[in-house]
């Protein structure tokens, strides 16, 4: 489990540091809204007709969350790679919590660092590298974590969320 940052946590020297957005803010056109509202309405009506009201409620809540999220700017979070672990915002993850890491280079020029957690209950961390040199980050992390060379593509969940702009 990540620890809250306080005076008791040993951090070591900071090797790399940059600021990322908490979540990716997509630019959506009018057609995206028309298609998603239509799809949402169809799913809500389906849920009502099949007497699955919880499903309809989940779809409505998802639509509300997407609406609120699209009208807010994502908060900025500090990300640091230290000698003792990873700092993400106000949370400290020791290297023992991670299984491996890998870096994906997208076709659009984006570079993303993925940190795979040992615990199956915690999601992997997806960190955009932005203007950071991926080779320097890779060499720094190799001292503390195993690099997963078998992973050459981003996870399906990331592709779906990027392509569907959710």
Task: Give residue 157's pLDDT.
Answer: 85
Domain positions in the chain = 3-22+76-159, 30-70
Burial 13-41 (b: 16+ CB within 10 A, else e): eebbebebeeeeeeeeeeeeeeebeeebe
Residue 153 — very low, low, confident or very high, per pLDDT cuts 50/70/90? confident
pTM: 0.82
Task: Give residue 83's pLDDT.
Answer: 92
d(CA 103, CA 151): 9
Is the pLDDT score of 2 beyond 70? yes
Question: pLDDT above 90 covers what percent of the chain?
Answer: 56
Mean pLDDT over the full length of the chain: 89
Maximum alpha-carbon separation in the chain: 59
Instruction: Give alpha helix (H) positions in 27-151.
Output: 30-49, 53-70, 134-142
Task: Give residue 15's pLDDT.
Answer: 93
Task: Name which residue leads in pLDDT, 25 or 30.
Answer: 30
Fold of 3-22+76-159: PH-domain like (2.30.29)
């Amino acid at each position: 489990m990540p620890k809250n940052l306080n005076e008791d946590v040993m951090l070591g020297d900071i090797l790399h540091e940059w600021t990322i957005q908490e979540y990716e803010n997509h630019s959506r056109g009018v057609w995206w809204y028309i298609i998603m509202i239509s799809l949402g309405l169809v799913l809500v009506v389906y849920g009502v007709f099949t007497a699955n009201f919880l499903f309809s409620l989940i779809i409505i809540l998802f639509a509300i969350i997407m609406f609120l999220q699209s009208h807010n700017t994502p908060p900025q979070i500090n990300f640091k790679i230290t000698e003792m672990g990873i700092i993400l915002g106000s949370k400290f993850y020791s290297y023992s919590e991670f299984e491996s890491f890998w870096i994906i280079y997208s076709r659009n020029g984006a570079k993303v660092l993925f940190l795979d957690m040992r615990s199956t209950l915690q999601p992997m961390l997806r960190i955009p590298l932005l203007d950071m040199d991926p080779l320097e980050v890779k060499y720094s992390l190799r001292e503390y974590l195993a690099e997963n060379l078998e992973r050459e593509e981003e996870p399906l969940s990331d592709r779906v969320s990027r392509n569907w702009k959710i």
